[in-house]
């Protein structure tokens, strides 16, 4: 907590603009910068105008409110261990901002982070070291999917959190984020069940929370994590219909996979969580729409 947390919104916005100006100056003279944030210490690449890095630099946090609200809610209903205990499984970990943040702020004791992109993975490992969390972290350089394979992976120039598994999209399908122009690399994919089984730490087989943000590939992650997800573990998921559609999976297929694993989902609304039955998920996904909007939900048994 610092003085800016209690400052009026106009003053906060002025400060954030000042920080964004500093960000642009750093981009002229540096390849990277290391900063202290509310979620730990992070090395940020500045050669590209990465949206997550820029947000972390200017506001000193990223999705911190979502993390705090979600964990407070889950603890209030007895679905998460007390602060400082348990393991979080972070799938699509990027530079580690979510899982490192959860350990740096004392929310969990350990973390497993799964990230396929080589550059993001190198930053993840370095940021783990910057925060002296090596003994509490397992970093896995894979794309979580429905089977072991080699996948094509497309890279965003402006949002390193929007790197995605690449699919041959249907002709005339939307290209809202100019995905057709992205560079494509190959990455190794594995199922979550297999990755977890091969970790030596017994705590890894029973994480207290699973946090998934894989830009539309979530349905495939679910299919490769059925043994783990059969357990009574809450799962935070970003639902992004546009991204799901680009994988070739229909909303009906996504909802059917989810319905086989969970009975309830929770929607955050004004820092509170509303309970919904899984039978309502198709209508909810349809309500989000396929024009780029997304919602975070928590799935529970």
Displacement of CA 155 from its chain's centroid (Å): 16
Superfamily of domain 63-300: Vaccinia Virus protein VP39 (3.40.50.150)
Phi, psi angles (nearest 5°) of residue 68: -65, -45
Give the global pTM.
0.95
pLDDT at 170 over 90: no
For 73-132, the pLDDT digits (tens) are 999 999 999 999 999 999 999 999 999 999 999 999 999 999 999 999 999 999 999 999
| Overall average pLDDT of the 24-47 stretch | 93
Phi, psi (degrees; rounded to nearest 5) at 216: 100, -15
Separation CA 130–CA 41 (nearest Å): 6
**Is pLDDT above 60 for 49?**
yes
Nearest to 85 by CA among 64, 106, 113: 106
Burial of 168 (C-beta count, 10 Å sphere; 0-12/13-18/19+): exposed
Q: Is the dihedral of CA 232, 236, 239, 240 positive or negative?
A: negative
Spatial strand order in the sheet of 209-212: 137-140, 110-114, 87-91, 209-212, 235-239, 295-300, 264-269, 272-277
The domains of the chain are located at 1-61, 63-300
| Mean pLDDT for all residues in the chain | 94
pLDDT on residue 151: 97
Q: Average pLDDT of 154-169?
A: 91
Choose between 18 and 47: higher pLDDT.
Answer: 18
Q: What is the pLDDT of residue 1?
A: 56
Strands 295-300 and 264-269: antiparallel
Confidence category of residue 298, pLDDT binned at 50, 70, 90? very high
Give the model's pLDDT for residue 203.
78
pLDDT confidence of residue 38: 97
Are the beta carbons of 124 and 161 closer than 8 angstroms?
A: no
């Amino acid at each position: 907590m610092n003085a800016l947390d209690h400052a009026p919104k106009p003053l906060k916005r002025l400060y954030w603009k000042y920080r964004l100006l500093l960000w642009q100056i750093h981009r002229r003279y540096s390849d990277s910068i290391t900063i202290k944030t509310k979620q730990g210490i992070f090395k940020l690449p500045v050669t590209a105008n990465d949206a997550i890095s820029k947000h972390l630099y200017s506001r000193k946090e990223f999705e911190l409110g979502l993390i705090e609200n979600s964990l407070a809610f889950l603890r209030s209903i007895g679905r998460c261990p007390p602060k400082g205990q348990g393991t979080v499984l972070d799938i699509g970990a990027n530079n580690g901002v979510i899982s490192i943040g959860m350990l740096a702020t004392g929310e969990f004791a350990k973390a497993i982070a799964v990230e396929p992109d080589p550059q993001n993975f190198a930053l993840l490992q370095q940021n783990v070291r910057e925060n002296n969390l090596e003994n509490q972290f397992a970093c896995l350089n894979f794309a979580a999917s429905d089977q072991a394979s080699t996948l094509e992976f497309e890279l965003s120039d402006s949002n390193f959190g929007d790197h995605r598994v690449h699919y041959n999209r249907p002709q005339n399908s939307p290209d809202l984020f100019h995905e057709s122009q992205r560079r494509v690399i190959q990455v190794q994919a594995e199922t979550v069940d297999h990755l977890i089984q091969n970790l030596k730490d017994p705590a890894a087989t029973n994480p207290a929370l699973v946090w998934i943000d894989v830009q539309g590939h979530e349905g495939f992650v679910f299919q490769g994590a059925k043994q783990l997800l059969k357990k009574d573990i809450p799962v935070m998921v970003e639902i992004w219909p546009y991204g799901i559609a680009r994988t070739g999976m229909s909303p009906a297929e996504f909802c059917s996979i989810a319905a086989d694993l969970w009975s309830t989902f929770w929607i955050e609304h004004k820092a509170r969580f509303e309970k919904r039955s899984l039978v309502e998920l198709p209508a909810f996904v349809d309500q989000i729409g396929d024009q780029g909007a997304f919602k975070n939900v928590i799935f529970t048994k």
